[in-house]
């Protein structure tokens, strides 16, 4: 209800996913392109959505009834709510008490860009809420029944929204296989293949339907046509590393000397400002948890890698929304750090993050709404 209230259920004009859902229902993968405010790639006389298709698949039942009137923001709020519930489940499965679970769950919703993405529901932001939902469910399963095929399926679905999340698959799968009893490994690997082989086939078929080949060239095509990009090369380059590091860690609100005193840039706010509670991830106890902690850190670093090499930082945003790609794998580490440190440290860090996040939501609603209505852009 909180997300629905702050979003006001304003239906985003950047409804690429609604248009793609309608296209799927009509039996094709190109969209009815209304004009250049929808950043779809023109290719072969048609226009195609470059973002992963999973959010559009989730919207198909709604699009079957409401068509282009489907409210993409409502989907963003719903998926963010499920992601938040999964964050609570992760904390409880790690043995955290009610108070710590409440603190870390509130941090995950308001101390990251998750609530902000749900609030606006544009194509780039709903991709995050859907991806975070599936990734958090995968982490919850990793800490619960540990079904290899289900963890893999959930990560594949997350990657079908934010493709960088596919990089978490290798460490999570390796961890689960290594910790299974020998007698269960062969059936588990067979079930895993039953997920990955069809997923790969669908991925190739979707790319072939759009680009006439097995590879996804959508982001490269966008990079080559974007004024911020270049005519040749890859959108992922070491050249952009310094720019991304500065954005992630050295972009701060500006003091203006009058109300509202601090002004966050609409292009980013560094994560140590918005998400200081992430430092708890540096302090988990390794006793008896070395394989799990190593797996979570590997997933975090692998998924974070592309965001530090990409040519844009995420555009219009509160905080650093690209951090949502790896924060689901950091959250268990945050919870474990909270269990190790004095409770007041957790409450203070999570409380600061939540308050800063609420301030950011207020500031955007008060001063920047029109920017997203007229000029939004993103990865």
Report the predicted TM-score, pTM, of the whole model to 2 decimal places: 0.96
Distance of alpha carbon 256 from alpha carbon 241, whole angstroms? 30
Residues in the chain with pLDDT < 70?
Answer: 1, 370-379
pLDDT computed for residue 5 by the predictor:
75
Residue 373's contacts (CB-CB under 8 Å, 6 or more residues apart) are: 13
pLDDT (tens digit, 9 = 90+) per residue, 72-126? Answer: 999 999 999 999 999 999 999 999 999 999 999 999 999 999 999 999 999 999 9
The H-or-E segment that residue 48 falls in is strand 46-48
Q: Are 214 and 235 a contacting pair, CB within 8 Å?
A: no
Q: Which of 248, 12, 296, 308 is nearest to 113 (CA)?
A: 248
pLDDT at 374: 45
For 34-48, write each residue's pLDDT tens digit. Answer: 999 898 999 999 999
Query: Considering the chain, what is the average pLDDT of its residues?
Result: 95
Can you give the residue ranges of every domain in the chain? 71-375
């Amino acid at each position: 209800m909180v997300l629905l209230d702050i979003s006001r259920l304003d239906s985003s004009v950047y409804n690429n996913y609604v248009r793609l859902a309608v296209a799927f229902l009509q039996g094709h993968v190109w969209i009815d392109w209304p004009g250049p405010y929808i950043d779809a790639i023109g290719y072969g006389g048609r226009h195609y959505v470059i973002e992963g298709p999973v959010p559009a698949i989730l919207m198909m039942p709604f699009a079957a009834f409401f068509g282009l009137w489907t409210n993409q923001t409502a989907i963003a709020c719903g998926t963010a709510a499920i992601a938040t519930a999964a964050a609570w489940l992760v904390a409880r499965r790690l043995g955290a008490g009610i108070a710590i679970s409440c603190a870390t769950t509130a941090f995950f919703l308001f101390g990251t860009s998750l609530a902000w993405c749900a609030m606006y529901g544009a194509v780039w932001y709903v991709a995050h809420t859907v991806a975070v939902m599936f990734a958090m469910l995968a982490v919850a399963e990793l800490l619960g029944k540990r079904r290899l095929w289900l963890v893999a399926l959930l990560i594949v679905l997350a990657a079908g929204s934010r493709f960088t999340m596919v990089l978490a698959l290798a460490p999570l799968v390796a961890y689960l296989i290594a910790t299974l009893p020998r007698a269960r490994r062969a059936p588990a690997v067979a079930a895993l293949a039953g997920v990955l082989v069809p997923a790969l086939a669908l991925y190739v078929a979707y790319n072939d339907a759009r680009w006439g080949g097995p590879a996804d060239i959508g982001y490269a095509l966008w990079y080559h046509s974007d004024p911020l990009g270049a005519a040749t090369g890859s959108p992922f380059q070491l050249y952009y590393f310094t720019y991304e590091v500065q954005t992630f860690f050295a972009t701060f609100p500006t003091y203006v000397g009058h109300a509202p005193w601090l002004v966050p840039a609409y292009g980013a706010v560094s994560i140590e400002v918005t998400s200081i509670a992430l430092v708890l991830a540096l302090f988990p106890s390794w006793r008896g948890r070395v394989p799990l902690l190593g797996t979570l850190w590997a997933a975090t670093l692998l998924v974070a890698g592309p965001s530090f090499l990409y040519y844009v930082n995420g555009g219009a945003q509160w905080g650093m929304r690209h951090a949502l790609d790896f924060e689901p794998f950091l959250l268990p580490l945050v919870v474990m750090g909270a269990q190790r440190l004095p409770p007041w440290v957790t409450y203070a860090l999570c409380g600061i993050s939540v308050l800063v996040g609420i301030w950011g939501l207020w500031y955007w609603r008060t001063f920047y709404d029109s920017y997203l209505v007229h000029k939004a852009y993103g990865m």
